[in-house]
Amino acid sequence: MKRRLLLIFIFIFIFIVIFFLYKTKAFSRVSLPGVSDASQVTGILLPADENEGVSFDLKAYEKDGEYLLFLPARADISDLTIYMLGEGDEPLERARLDLSGGVCLLHEAIVLRAYQSLLPSVEISFSGTGSSLEEVEDDKDHEFRAFGDMVVSCTDEAALQNGWETVVSSRNLDYGLKGSMSLRGHGNASWLLDKKSYNVYWENLADVLSMGMDDEWVLLADGIDRTLLRNQVFYDMAEKCGIRYSPKLRKVELFIDGDYRGVYSLTTKVRINENSVDIRQGHDFLYRWGMPGDEARPLSSFVFRDEPTNVVEVRDLKDESVREKAFKIADDLMLKIEDTSSDECLSMIDMESWAKYYWIQELGKNTDATSRSLYTVWMADEGRMYMNPVWDMDQTAGVVEPYMREVDYLYPQEWAVRYEEWYKPLFEREEFAQKVDEVYRRSDMADVMDECIKAIPQKAEDIRTAAMMNFLRWDILDEPQNNRIYFYMEDTSWDAQVEWLHIWLKYRKEWIDEECK
């Protein structure tokens, strides 16, 4: 009897082992054909189920005859399992590697380089959901959504230092076929670039990297901004200056379906909720100006330069019965701003917030300061329009040289924003001009600017390794379109881009100080 029970136990044990090997795919790996010639290898795969700290399978990126393996922050670079793939992505050979030295040679001809930074990682997978990133990027109207799953992770050290959770997943208790998150396109002119921005939606609320409980975020590609820092610098400045509802931002590295996509800015989205624009729905109003679209309404005035941008949209409006009221408030305000024979418009705006917002835009000479993706908030009880939050600060500090502008945007001297669209008639009012001057002189505005400008070199150091990885993946530093800086710096490096931003803002601030004496 004991012998029979022992045999039954052995058979059960063998069955469990075989089942486990099958489920982990290790069973089939025993009989891999192997690589006899380097020319057989068409790709390299890093499987998630054999590598801790990796949420979804990763693929090495092939460039100049070498394979570049970009790793999430929590992956153990000293103990990696990779598979060399052949035609049809069939596994040929398994290898366990220590890539902490950065490079290894496989079969004497295959160069594999590994890169890893300390930035948090955002990993997204659409596997098995029937949708893909290609479908998202083929839709210029940003209506198509790809469904999948997303994991945000960071190192233990970063979690301890910043109070972040080490791993946050979009997966909830409902493992639906469509996944637990969705992604669609984001951006206007920037959508024409290869490196694109995305909107992200989760099925469940989560506190991601201590940005507050939310279920929607934006992944900004910073494709125009070769420093990868402009939005971060100006969002920090806006928050420190007291501009309300400033977006929260974290620098991350993005992986989608195993492909490394580079350095992104993960930000909270401008919308009405407790974590973003915290106002009363249907009573107070959130407006977006200068963006044509189905919900946009044409303005009676012509404060905006271009007819397509002479529009306003009421955002996140659930009560349709107040839409006309909301639009009339915005339309009346623009008519009053345009009519310089009266100062009536000044009683409809919170001049403090308009002045602070102006200074952020003027410091950076933002080419988008008065058109496209501008946000204001109407506070009904006060009967005033607040200028906030700051958004879309990538076209600043001479990064682009706009066409058909009367003033210079490339160099750090001269006023620019005060001569643009709605600011031009506002500055013709002495009371508004005095308020702007007063805000700069008596508030901590100037000190905050200095503080944020001085912080740029450290911000650059914090992302140095990640920036190097980004520009290996996106070889664009030499490209002239939308970027004139390297012609003047005579240097195509990322360091030159950062130096331009730092020195440009320093000179700009000194020029403003001199003008405001």
Half-sphere exposure of 193 (CA within 13 A, CB side): 23
Q: Are 122 and 256 in contact (CB under 8 A)?
A: no
421 vs 433 pLDDT, higher one: 433
- Residues with Cβ within 8 Å of residue 361, at least 6 apart in sequence: 369, 370, 417
- Residues with Cβ within 8 Å of residue 157, at least 6 apart in sequence: 118
The pLDDT of residue 48 is above 70: yes
At 1 the pLDDT is: 58
The pLDDT of residue 445 is above 60: yes
Its sign, for the CA torsion 58, 62, 68, 72, is negative
Edge-to-edge strand order for the sheet containing 80-85? 58-59, 43-46, 80-85, 91-97
Please give the radius of gyration of the chain, using alpha carbons only, rounded to the nearest integer. 27
At 5 the pLDDT is: 55
What confidence tier does 480 reach under pLDDT thresholds 50, 70, 90? Answer: low
234: tokens are 């100006």
pLDDT in tens, 127-157: 888 889 999 999 988 999 999 999 999 999 9
474 vs 128 pLDDT, higher one: 474
The percentage of the chain sitting over the pLDDT mark of 90, rounded to a whole number, equals 75
Q: Residue 59: in which H helix or E strand, if any?
A: strand 58-59
Helix, strand, coil % in the chain, rounded to nearest 5: 35, 25, 40
At 21 the pLDDT is: 45
At 25 the pLDDT is: 45
The pLDDT of residue 15 is above 90: no
**Under DSSP, is residue 89 helix (H, G, I), strand (E, B) or coil?**
helix
At 23 the pLDDT is: 42
Q: Among 79-93, 391-405, 414-428, 503-517, whose mean pLDDT is lowest?
A: 391-405
Q: Are 220 and 243 in contact (CB under 8 A)?
A: no
432 vs 399 pLDDT, higher one: 432
At 17 the pLDDT is: 47
Mean pLDDT of 306-310: 82
- Round to whole Å and give the CA distance between 441 and 444: 8
- Round to whole Å and give the CA distance between 484 and 490: 10
At 463 the pLDDT is: 98
The percentage of the chain sitting over the pLDDT mark of 70, rounded to a whole number, equals 92
Burial 502-511 (b: 16+ CB within 10 A, else e): bebbbebbee
Domain ranges for the chain: 28-116, 121-268
What confidence tier does 13 reach under pLDDT thresholds 50, 70, 90? Answer: low
What confidence tier does 171 reach under pLDDT thresholds 50, 70, 90? Answer: confident
193 vs 468 pLDDT, higher one: 468
At 11 the pLDDT is: 57
- DSSP assignments along 299-368, one per residue: -SS--SSSGGG-EEEEES---GGGHHHHHHHHHHHHHHHH-TT--GGGGGB-HHHHHHHHHHHHHHT-TT
* DSSP code for 402: -
At 113 the pLDDT is: 97
